[in-house]
């Protein structure tokens, strides 16, 4: 991905289709993950400028909170900036779909 820009990828896992919108800024990312209709959902923000990332929940979630925090902190730490991640899914992700999403999102932000 160039220094700033927008990219959309589609991730298919366990017969589920997730669309991922990645907006890159000079100082971070906004990543929106949705299944089905394009909606904002549970949202977390992480800042990775210190020795360990710091996170704040913006819109809480019952399930998949660990997934959101992991994605946000991983990207924020790697790029030493801010990462905001929103997740809107029809049902709980599960570990397999979560792993595939993390892998594909990480690949996409590194390009």
Tell me the CATH number at 79.
Answer: 3.30.230.100
Name the average pLDDT for the chain.
92
Cα–Cα distance list, 65 to 3, 14, 19, 104 (Å): 29, 20, 19, 19
pLDDT at 28: 95
**Residues 73-86, mean pLDDT to the nearest whole number:** 96
Confidence of residue 72 (pLDDT cuts 50, 70, 90): very high
Checking if the pLDDT of 1 tops 60, the result is no
The verdict on residue 12 lying in a domain is yes
CA 43 from centre of chain: 9
Range of the domain at 88: 6-110
The verdict on residue 21 lying in a domain is yes
**What is the number of domains present in the chain?**
1
The verdict on residue 89 lying in a domain is yes
**Residues 30-38, mean pLDDT to the nearest whole number:** 95
The verdict on residue 79 lying in a domain is yes
């Amino acid at each position: 991905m160039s220094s700033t820009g927008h990219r959309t990828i589609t991730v298919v896992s366990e017969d589920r289709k997730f669309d991922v919108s990645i907006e890159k800024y000079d100082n971070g990312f906004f990543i929106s993950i949705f299944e089905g209709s394009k909606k904002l959902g549970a949202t977390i923000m992480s800042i990775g400028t210190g020795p360990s990332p710091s996170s704040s929940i913006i819109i809480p979630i019952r399930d998949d909170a660990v997934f959101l925090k992991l994605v946000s902190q991983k990207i924020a730490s790697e790029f030493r900036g801010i990462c905001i991640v929103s997740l809107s899914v029809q049902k709980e992700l599960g570990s397999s779909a979560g792993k595939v999403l993390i892998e594909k999102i990480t690949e996409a932000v590194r390009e």
